[in-house]
Structure 1
Amino acid sequence: MRDLIACCGLDCEKCDAYLATIRNDDALRKKTAKQWAELNHAPITPEMINCLGCRANGVKTPYCDSLCEIRKCTLKKGLSTCGSCPHLENCQIVGEVLKNSDDALQNLKGEKI
């Protein structure tokens, strides 16, 4: 599985934080911070929009680094992604992501790690 498939199955290569980081795009950082702050009712600044992917080495957004319950669960269980977990189909932690993204579920089901 590609390192840029997140623990939850989302594709980090399509994430605006990842795109802003690899392109060093301050306008995209600003736009993303504004959108995410509004969506999450949280103080998110453009300086926080730096991420190379939740499973890749390097910088991560504060959320991906230490707040994401999905990532914390996979790390605690020693898994690469939720795709390796026997409880994937009934998991409430990753359930919202999978309910809203057919691609994420396909990415996780394709994993054979």
Structure 2
Amino acid sequence: MKQMIGYCGLNCERCDAYLATVRDDWQLRKKTAKLWAELNHAPILPEHINCQGCRTDGVKTVFCESMCGIRQCACKKGVATCGECPKLEACSIVGTILANDPSARKNLEG
């Protein structure tokens, strides 16, 4: 499995936080921080939008590092991705992502 596939199956290379980091794009950081703050009801600021990938060494956004329940669960269980978890099909934590993004499920299978 590609290293840039997150624990949930999403492709980190398509994530706005990752793109803002590798492109050093301040406007994308501001846009992403605003959206993520609204979606997560959390004080996420543009300077928090720095990420080199969910499963890679290096910097992660404040959301990915400490707020993402999927990442926390996978790290606790010691799985490379949710695709290795025997409870995947019944999981309410990652279920929303898999229901909304068929490519995530496919990435976890590959």
Q: Same fold (TM over 0.5)?
A: yes
Give RMSD over aligned pairs: 1.0
- The match for 2:6 is 6
Question: How many residues are paired up?
Answer: 110
Distance 1:39 1:61, change over 3 A: same
Match of 2:79 in 1: 79
Which position in structure 1 is the counterpart of 2:92? 92
1:106 CA drift (Å): 0.5
In percent, how many aligned pairs have the same letter? 64
List 4+ stretches of structure 1 deviating above 6 A.
none
Say if 2:29 is the partner of 1:32. Answer: no
Q: What are the superposed Cα offsets for residues 80-110 of structure 1, whole Å, 9 maximum, x if unpaired?
A: 0001111111111111111111010010111
Q: Which amino acid aligns with 1:78?
A: G
Which 5+ residue runs of structure 2 have no aligned equivalent? Answer: none
Moved more, 25-34 or 10-19: 25-34
Residue 85 of structure 2 is aligned to residue 46 of structure 1: no
Q: Deviations over 1:17-70 (max 9, x none)?
A: 000000111111111111222222321110000001110110001111122111
TM-score, length-normalised on structure 1? 0.92
Matched residue, 2:108 = 108
TM-score (normalizing by structure 2): 0.95
2:18 alignment partner in structure 1: 18
